A = this chain, B = another copy of it.
Amino acid sequence: MNIGSASDKSGLPAKTIRYYEDIGLLKPDRADNGYRDYSMSDVHKLRFLQRSRGLGFSVEECRQLLALYEDKSRASADVKSIAQSKLQEIERKIIELRELQHTLKHLVAHCHGDKRPDCPILESISGTAGSS
């Protein structure tokens, strides 16, 4: 499929998709007319990149994650340890998101109009009292 369809299906702008090719994250086929030709597997990778970038992983981290995904054949120890450290990071991100969620919910529910400058939510939002 052309880059436009790949863009629609992955949620990434065509510009970004070309950029990801430039930096070697992806190598789509080329049609005879010179157009890039994306397979479903390419689209899966793009969608994966779209998600993990949006979740705060750097491009280099995404490259590693993508390598995990692609190199499942020569997997074992090396790959496993990367995956495991990423799993810890994901765990941490989930916890932080839950805390942020909790805080915002409180803001919406309890703080509208309440003017106290020492609102206890101020502490929880930054995770200092984060022993939930």
Which residues of the other chain, B, contact A121 by a CB distance below 8 angstroms? 69, 72
* A111-B48 in contact (CB<8A): no
**A122: interface (CB < 8 Å):** yes
Complex Cα spacing A108 to B72, Å:
9
In A81-115, the 8 Å CB interface with B consists of 83-84, 86-87, 90-91, 93-94, 96-98, 100-101, 104-105, 107-108, 111-115
A111-125 CB contact bits vs B (8 Å, 1 = yes)?
Answer: 111110001011101
- Give the size category of A's interface with B: 35 or more
Which residues of A line the B interface, CB within 8 A? 41, 43-48, 51-56, 65, 68-69, 72-73, 75-76, 79-80, 83-84, 86-87, 90-91, 93-94, 96-98, 100-101, 104-105, 107-108, 111-115, 119, 121-123, 125-128
